[in-house]
Structure 1
Amino acid sequence: MSLNRRQALSHIIGITTAAAGASLMASPVFAATNADGQYQLGLGEKLKYVPLDPMQAAKLAYQTGGGCMHQVFHSVITLLSQSSSVDADKFKTIPTALAGYGFAGVVGQGTLCGNLNAIGMIVNILDDINGQNSAVIAHTFRYYENESLPLSSAEFVSGIGSTPEKTALVGSSSQANSVLCHSSISNWSKASGLPFAKKGERCYRLSASMAYHLVELLNRAYQGENIGALPSSKPSAEAQTCQTCHGSADMFGSAASVKTDMECTTCHTGHFN
């Protein structure tokens, strides 16, 4: 069949319009895929959490290695990839090795502890858990600051697959008083009389402890508990006092505006220090 110019042009426009429509319809489908059509997590995308076994998470973190951030991140993401979550297959695509940079406070710099770095990264990709995601992060940060860690009960040591004999290598549990690796390790060293170079067992158990606590909190949030209402989710009384002048929204006289909930007096003992 032959077409005149007008018919041919109409035919071409029709095909182009149909293709454009198909492209618009297909975009959402392929928005989270790479050039090979494989799924990859998109910026801002959230995946569904389902309750996990805290001890199983702790044990996997303890036995994984690769530094504290990798231990916690790999543990929780791996368990979610094996769970009943509707997004289990999506969790499987996340390369947990990317968390390897967080050891010793970001490649040995002694800044934010890798355990907390991992927790932030995990919770940030989880779909809303009864409005408690931010509260879970806040609680785990305050827990890390104030709890005597690593956990050392006989039940916990056995549960993660360690032994009482290895407890001697930990030296002593200690309170970090900060979210910084530097402070955490320094206070542990002072309590134990051991140098940084011998932190191995202590830090393996610390990652197990934080993985355990994170999953426990996520489970509680999933069951509907208001984590944000817990006093242990809020900054200390001292930090809250500092925030009355050094707030994030308003300034009090010449006081600097500050955005943080971490412990203040660990580093700041007065206005001129």
Structure 2
Amino acid sequence: MNINRRQAMGQIIGLVSVAAGGGIMANAMAADTCAGDSAIGIGSDGSSDLAANLLTYVKVDPLAVAKRAYEDYGKGGCMYGVFDAIVKELAAQGHEDACKFAAIPTNITVYGGGGVSGWGSLCGCVNAAAMAVNMLAGVDRTKVIRSVYHYYESTSMPWGDSEFLTAIGAPTRTTNAGEPLTAELIGQSVAKSILCHTSVTLWSKQSKFGTSHAAKLERCAQVTAEVAYITADYLNKALDGTLDVATVADSNSDCGACHSSTKREPDTYFATDVNSQMECQSCHSEHDVSAGLTSAHADYTCSDCH
């Protein structure tokens, strides 16, 4: 990972060891200085209006965001955890748009838990990250969002790093026998997708914990903290102009030679168009068009599908 977590850890361990209420107190102090009728001011008249009314992004401590996100997961789920943590930390900074951040009703994101009300679709963590990033000025919003999404689909999660877990206050859940759900028990898995269903199912297969067990809640709480951390870290780098991470799988370039998004009409259409940044081979088998089709495409010719 392109992240110096240990360096960041040294800056926050002291705050974490004092009390969890530090960030809350800072936010409360910021909120006390805001008028009760503060307007958010980001507009509601389409993308052009939004682009003209973005809120100022200032650097936040990724570990402070991660700690808040971990705690927030138990209050409203993964989407709420990431979104509330980013917004509340920005509100706590006391900058020119702090009151506007404080006015954002973060509870509107609770619907995203479990892949949108338990539907298992888009994971609430990345849903929240995109929602938060999209209202920020001073950063390449598209690049940050795509970077976070690619991180989620391609990285073994949760971290399981002892210092990180200590900093965010994890774990807080136990096995049926009352044993703490340690990193060794939780394990790691690669989501291979941005879907909640795929992410949780592959983790369950790896860990051997059922998806209704407390271990799943602990795992998702830690993933929520990790995505919140990554989003804040990428935002900080984007603000400095130093964000240099992948936004799409390298293997997609091979598929895109035939399956890119086009403006073709029926008389010129020859291959399945794909309008997506997701890693192709997470769901689809690759085939070598010069050597014949393989795997799921065995015994087919190009004209069978195209």
Q: The TM-score by the shorter chain falls in which range?
A: 0.7 to 0.9
Report how many residues are paired: 231
8 Å Cα contact 2:38-2:103 kept in structure 1: no
Q: Deviations over 1:57-93 (max 9, x none)?
A: 0000001121100000000000101113311000011
Per the alignment, do residues 73 and 169 of structure 1 end up closer, same or farther by CA in structure 2, a change over 3 Å counting?
A: farther
Q: What is the RMSD computed on CA atoms of the aligned residues? A: 2.1
Residue 123 of structure 1 deviates from its aligned partner by 0.7
Aligned counterparts of 1:267 and 1:179: Cα–Cα separation in 2: 12
SS at match of 1:108: coil
Residue 169 of structure 1 deviates from its aligned partner by 8.5
Match of 2:250 in 1: 237
Aligned counterparts of 1:247 and 1:133: Cα–Cα separation in 2: 23
Aligned counterparts of 1:58 and 1:236: Cα–Cα separation in 2: 26
- Aligned mate of 2:260, from 230, 247, 255: 247
8 Å Cα contact 1:178-1:263 kept in structure 2: yes
- Aligned mate of 2:219, from 179, 188, 202: 202
Match of 2:164 in 1: 156
Aligned counterparts of 2:81 and 2:238: Cα–Cα separation in 1: 23
Q: Any unmatched runs of 5+ in structure 1?
A: 1-35
Aligned counterparts of 1:224 and 1:151: Cα–Cα separation in 2: 26
TM-score scaled by structure 1?
A: 0.79
Match of 2:188 in 1: 173
Per the alignment, do residues 101 and 261 of structure 1 end up closer, same or farther by CA in structure 2, a change over 3 Å counting?
A: same
Aligned counterparts of 2:95 and 2:241: Cα–Cα separation in 1: 18
8 Å Cα contact 1:170-1:202 kept in structure 2: no
Identity %: 38
Map residues 1-273 of structure 1 onto 2, 5 A cutoff: 38-41=38-41, 42-43=43-44, 44=50, 45-64=53-72, 65=74, 66-129=76-139, 132-163=140-171, 165-167=180-182, 171-198=186-213, 199-225=216-242, 227=243, 229-230=244-245, 232-233=246-247, 235-250=248-263, 253-269=269-285, 270=296
Residue 96 of structure 1 deviates from its aligned partner by 0.2
8 Å Cα contact 2:171-2:218 kept in structure 1: no
Aligned counterparts of 2:38 and 2:277: Cα–Cα separation in 1: 39
Aligned counterparts of 2:110 and 2:66: Cα–Cα separation in 1: 18
8 Å Cα contact 1:49-1:85 kept in structure 2: no
Aligned counterparts of 1:168 and 1:77: Cα–Cα separation in 2: 28
Aligned counterparts of 1:121 and 1:92: Cα–Cα separation in 2: 16
Between 169-178 and 115-124, the greater mean CA deviation after superposition: 169-178
TM-score scaled by structure 2?
A: 0.71
Aligned counterparts of 2:112 and 2:169: Cα–Cα separation in 1: 24
Aligned counterparts of 2:230 and 2:37: Cα–Cα separation in 1: 37
Between 87-96 and 76-85, the greater mean CA deviation after superposition: 76-85
